Structure 1
Amino acid sequence: MNTNFEIANQGSSGLALQQNRVLRNTYMLLGLSMVPTVIGALVGIQMGFSFLAGSPLMSFLLFMGIAMGFMWGIEKNKDSGLGVALLLGFTFFMGLMLSRILQVALGFSNGGSMIAMAAGGTGAVFFTMSTVAAVSKRDFTGMGKFLFVGMIVILLAAVANIFFQIPALSLTIAVAVVGIFSAYILYDISRIVQGGETNYVSATLAVYLDVYNVFVSLLQLIMAFTGERD
């Protein structure tokens, strides 16, 4: 009886160690992924990167194609160094794409402070949600289906607004994105803590996209309400 208890206890300890290792590696790789993102954003700003700005629908479709290609490659090679390299390449690409909204923000007289505010807000959201998921030990993975449906609705609304160009809808979408992807941070970190995600490359990709979307949408909202022209 005692032997069975010891084996079960050792198994539980081993699982906890694995979960902690995945979480630690995820945080480390997430931090590293911000470097190519920043580099990509700076390169994009210097180049005046626009990515088919004259054709929003084509730009969106091409972006989705490239992004999905990267994500497929990352998942396919997540157990090797190539997966990490592809992830860093993907974050550089996302930095380039980020440069478009950063250029818009920098067109305001208070652009720098708005970007800093969005970054600070994103950091606060990430810290809060990741702490709740890691410390509370509650299982938030049941939110997955609800969040996925919400993400699809947002995606459809965003595509529709490419044609309608309704400012109020853009703001509504931005608010929804902040809410959905903040919850996704909670969900994705919870998956690691609960043992549902055991690969730190896949975990980093998921959390990176959460953080990226929260930042972009927060910046959109901050620009809409606090942007100051010269």
Structure 2
Amino acid sequence: MKQLPTQYRSPSTIGGFGQGVSAISAHKVLRQTYLLLSMTLLFSAAMAGVSMAIGAPYGLSLVCSLVSMGLLWFVVPRTANSEAGIWVVFAVTGLLGFGLGPILNRYMAMANGTQTVMTALGLTGAIFLGLSAYAVKTRRDFSFMRGFLVGGIILAFVLSIGLLVASLFGVYLQPLSLAISAMFALLMCGMILYQTGDIINGGETNYVLATVSLYLSIYNLFVSLLQLLGYANSDD
């Protein structure tokens, strides 16, 4: 059958399966996402450094976290398709970075605290780069993981709330806390695969939303690893 001229063919037919205009668009989104993600991670780290330097209290850390959650739920979705969305992403990541300051100071005060923080940071970077490279190279569709990941994250949050309530009554369940941290770490690894695959296969076309999603996965992975390594080092 005679093919249509290129200018009249749909993006999916140009260059074959996923190799034409749609693939170029996906790579553009991925490139923009990684660029914005790199800048927000650096900004977040700088804000964490400021927070540590001034000795920000835990109360201020909690306020920053709550404000960032509000921006994530109500502002990011409304501004994702405009230039303002980029500034909102920087606001979210800056607040979360600032909120990490008191947590990092607590770990830094522990024996081998600097090593613990740097190990968690190194592992987070290595895991992200490894999983992202795998998703980009294989171009696999990880959408089958979505239900499991969403269900696992909801369960982990419910368990976290239960742990918090128990602590208010003077009951602290260390094994459950470690299990939740390990659960979050594994789930965030899955989320990085799923989110990167979603970009590669054209499921996510907004680099602002993609950046926020990947940043949150990296952030939660780092915090989870920090908790696990901190506990391990405290037993040394």
Q: Same fold (TM over 0.5)?
A: yes
Could you say what secondary structure the match of 1:132 adopts?
helix
For residue 209 of structure 2, the aligned residue among 191, 202, 205 is: 202
For residue 163 of structure 2, the aligned residue among 158, 161, 164 is: 161
The residue that corresponds to 1:3 in the other structure is 3
CA distance in 2, matches of 1:5, 1:172: 58
Deviation of residue 67 (structure 1)?
Answer: 2.8
104-113 or 16-25, which moves further after superposition? 104-113
TM-score normalised per structure 1: 0.90
The residue that corresponds to 1:30 in the other structure is 37
The answer to whether residue 52 in structure 2 is matched with residue 45 in structure 1 is yes
Structure 1 portions without partners, runs of 5+: none
Q: Is the 8 A contact 2:65 2:95 kept in 1?
A: no
Equivalent pairs counted in the alignment come to 223
Q: Is the 8 A contact 2:86 2:208 kept in 1?
A: yes
CA root-mean-square deviation: 2.1
Please show how residues 65-214 of structure 1 align to structure 2 within 5 Å.
Answer: 65-71=66-72, 72-164=74-166, 165-214=172-221
CA distance in 1, matches of 2:229, 2:65: 25
Deviation of residue 127 (structure 1)?
Answer: 1.2
Q: Is the 8 A contact 1:36 1:89 kept in 2?
A: no
Deviation of residue 5 (structure 1)?
Answer: 8.1
Judging changes above 3 Å, is the alpha-carbon distance between structure 1 residues 106 and 202 closer, same or farther for their aligned structure 2 residues? same
CA distance in 1, matches of 2:138, 2:197: 10
Q: Is the 8 A contact 1:41 1:97 kept in 2?
A: yes
Q: Is the 8 A contact 2:33 2:208 kept in 1?
A: yes
TM-score normalised per structure 2: 0.88
Deviation of residue 226 (structure 1)?
Answer: 1.5
Judging changes above 3 Å, is the alpha-carbon distance between structure 1 residues 116 and 64 closer, same or farther for their aligned structure 2 residues? closer
Judging changes above 3 Å, is the alpha-carbon distance between structure 1 residues 148 and 64 closer, same or farther for their aligned structure 2 residues? farther
Deviation of residue 163 (structure 1)?
Answer: 2.3
Provide the identity percentage: 30
Structure 2 portions without partners, runs of 5+: 167-171
Letter in 2 for 1:172: A
Deviation of residue 113 (structure 1)?
Answer: 1.4
CA distance in 2, matches of 1:134, 1:220: 29
Deviation of residue 227 (structure 1)?
Answer: 3.8
Judging changes above 3 Å, is the alpha-carbon distance between structure 1 residues 169 and 228 closer, same or farther for their aligned structure 2 residues? closer
Deviation of residue 228 (structure 1)?
Answer: 7.7
